[in-house]
Amino acid sequence: MNYTQLEIMADLNRQRIHEQIAELRLQEEAISRDPDRVDLFSSAMYRLANWMVAAGTSLRQRYEKSCLECPQPGSGNLATGRL
């Protein structure tokens, strides 16, 4: 083997070692990551869900109140879908 072949083999070995190190770092990060840790997306979705529940409750109360005050017979509750 001549000098250039040795350099190419050494460079390929260095690249392989760097790839293995990067793979090990990713594995360590995946193992060490806490599954119960709340990230930004999860917390935003939690707040959105709570807001939607609160808004739905207030809408239901508003429509139920207006339905009870309505003098027309046969009108139903739009919030629950019962007509």
In which domain, by residue range, is 42 found?
Answer: 35-71
Question: Tell me: the pLDDT tens digits for 29-61?
Answer: 877 776 666 678 888 888 998 888 888 877 777
Q: What is the pLDDT of residue 56?
A: 82
Q: What is the pLDDT of residue 66?
A: 64
* 83, part of any domain: no
| Of the ranges 2-6, 7-11, 37-41, 60-64, the best mean pLDDT one | 7-11
Co-location of 29 and 42 in the same domain: no
Q: Are 44 and 52 in contact (CB under 8 A)?
A: no
Co-location of 66 and 54 in the same domain: yes
pLDDT band at residue 21 using 50, 70 and 90 as cut-offs: very high
Q: What is the pLDDT of residue 42?
A: 81
HEC profile of the chain: CCHHHHHHHHHHHHHHHHHHHHHHHHHHHHHHCCCCCCCHHHHHHHHHHHHHHHHHHHHHHHHHHHHHHCCCCCCCECCCCEC
Q: pTM for the complete prediction?
A: 0.39
* 47, part of any domain: yes
Number of domains the chain contains: 2
* 57, part of any domain: yes
